[in-house]
Amino acid sequence: MNKFVAAVVLAVSLLSAGMVFAQATSLQTPDEKLSYMLGMDIGSFLKEVPREIDFEIFIQGVQDTYKGEKTLLTEEEALKIKQDFVKEMQAEAIKKMNEAKDKNKKDGEAFLAENKKKKGVITTASGLQYEVLKKGTGASPKIDDTVKVHYAGTLIDGKEFDSSYKRGEPVTFPLNGVIPGWSEGLQLMKVGGKSRLVIPSNLAYGEQGAGQQIPPNSVLIFEVELLGIENPMPDLE
């Protein structure tokens, strides 16, 4: 048994016996830093558990299992509790997701209805709303073109989820490879122009959302500068 494992076992034993440790104010040794990191990981997990944790029993479970002593639950009982808990967590996650979907849908519809009334805002047949902030003088891209843009994206509450400006580098992408709101909105612009696109969720990431940054049924707002068209497709007309 190495020193670190021995220290963990000792700490668990002392905690189980009801002893109180002084709060550390700094971390000096590698073992102290590793110990604190493990505590942070466990704490982060437990923080998300929708139940009250009895830490004395929790520590007893760690101690009994580590030392190979007889546990208060059989492996079969522990597995059943784990499976039931996972189902409970999944049901809770689905409930929260559905609540978020409903709220975001209502909030998004209300935002679109108000934004539509603003001077200079044009609503297309698809529901996309756009406002020309600066008129361009160049060509307009076609769906098969690749464009170069600078942009900043926010949710309707103003939270920014992405920005090429902050990264300090514009982005190049094919118009037929992005969300429908971008594909349509960029074709309405001319090179050198800047527009504000307000994209309904069905033209963005829909009910699925996108990662942690874009919740389900989110209306997205982009300020986009069309810097150029890379190798534009020839006009066949």
Which residues carry out catalysis?
Answer: 151, 161-162, 179, 205, 222
- Report the C-alpha gap between 164 and 153 in whole angstroms: 9
Structure tokens that stand for 168 in this block: 């300090």
Structure tokens that stand for 28 in this block: 């000096």
Structure tokens that stand for 45 in this block: 């997990």
Identify the sign of the CA torsion 10, 16, 17, 18: positive
Side-chain half-sphere of 2: how many Cα atoms within 13 Å? 3
- Report the C-alpha gap between 109 and 42 in whole angstroms: 40
Residue 98 phi/psi, 5-degree rounding, is -65, -40
- Contact between 189 and 74 under an 8 Å Cβ cutoff? The reply is no
In degrees, to the nearest 5, what angle opens at C-alpha 100 toward C-alphas 208 and 122? 70
Structure tokens that stand for 199 in this block: 């994209």
Structure tokens that stand for 21 in this block: 């440790």
E strands, 104-232, are 121-123, 129-134, 146-155, 160-163, 171-174, 194-199, 220-230
Distant-in-sequence, close-in-space partners of 33: CB < 8 Å, separation ≥ 6 = 27
